[in-house]
Amino acid sequence: MLRKQFGKLGWPVSVVGLGTWNIGNQWGEIDETTAWTTIRAAYEAGMTIFDTAESYGIPNGLSEFRLGRALAGIRHNVVIVSKIGNWGKRTGGEIPKTGVDSIRVSGHAILGRLRTDYVDVILCHEGDVADPTVYLEGFEALKAEGCLRAYGISTNSLDALKRFNVNGTCSVVQMDYSLLNRGPEAALLPYCQEHGIGVMVRGPLAKGVLSGRYGAGSTFTDSVRAGWNDEGAARQKFLEQAAQVEKLARIVPPGPEMAAAAIRYTASHPAVSVTIPGAKSPEQARTNASAGDRLYTDTEMRKLAVAVS
């Protein structure tokens, strides 16, 4: 597994990490053993960075609980990234962001679920936050307590990122970026590169579409992608993306090879530190990790981009 520097933090991180939204039952139920073996398989395949959030899972926090259990004994060898901002929104128990203490208590709860006394990075999980002051002050308080090493924001908005980086203290940004969503290449990624902000890519497989396994006849039973089914609100966008993937299949075979190509595409951008596809099985984790054995040249990246255009 290749490694890159995590922006201005300077930490070496694997170019492919594990996103753990998928192990919390929102993408379909998986058992405790499968969750544990998936995380361990990712680690054994060379992944050194693991992404989660306080709100991931049914119930809320399940992904963090499972990640904490699986990292027992190896926590000191990895970088953990979590997020604050969406706790309880799905279940009517949202925590109001009324002051520094609301961020502190959320941070302390994350420590407990992860079974650790510090988190490497916590991100603001409100991607369109108009005034990030409560987060900035809360994260600084967690740093002062020794609970947190660095912080940033998960957003697809350059304006939101600039507001969050008003003091130059944003160390990490997580953004949606893939062969099917190259928008960040225009301004968001260059801004991060200019300011030394470590970039984490979420959605490199576009919620699985870039595996080449799904088409118009597919049925989705998980809550995340239910809107892709017939009459679903996101049906049209899904069909458009599936058509793009059919073009990609002319040069990259669907399945593990296509998934690895899509992951490697995002990891190869010079502004990107790590890309974090999710996995629901040890086999998926190992396939994802295989994409980190090399990076694409500019010529190879252009070829893939042209294929889906």
Supply the pLDDT for residue 223: 87
DSSP assignments along 141-209, one per residue: HHHHTTSEEEEEEE-S-HHHHHHHTTTS---EEEEE-BTTB-GGGTTHHHHHHHHT-EEEEE-TTTTTG
pTM listed for this prediction:
0.96
How far is 77 from 182, CA to CA, in rounded Å?
Answer: 32
What is the pLDDT at residue 237? 95
pLDDT of residue 110: 98
Amino acid at 25: N
The reported pLDDT for the residue numbered 146 is 98
31: left (phi over 0), alpha (psi -120 to 50) or beta: beta
Looking at residue 178, its pLDDT comes to 98
Residues of the chain under the 50 pLDDT cut: none
Digit-coded pLDDT (tens) for 36-49: 999 999 999 999 99
- With a CB cutoff of 8 Å and minimum separation 6, the contacts of 13 are 3, 4, 5, 6, 48, 49, 79, 273, 274
Instruction: Kindly report each contact of residues 293-298 with a partner whose C-beta sits within 8 Å and lies 24 or more positions away, as own/partner.
Output: 293/1, 293/2, 294/2, 294/264, 295/2, 295/15, 295/264, 295/267, 295/268, 296/264, 296/265, 296/268
What are the boundaries of each domain within the chain?
3-206+255-296
Please report, for residues 13, 241, 260, 294, the alpha-carbon distance to residue 268 in angstroms, rounded to integers and kept in the order given: 14, 22, 12, 9
| CATH, range 3-206+255-296 | 3.20.20.100
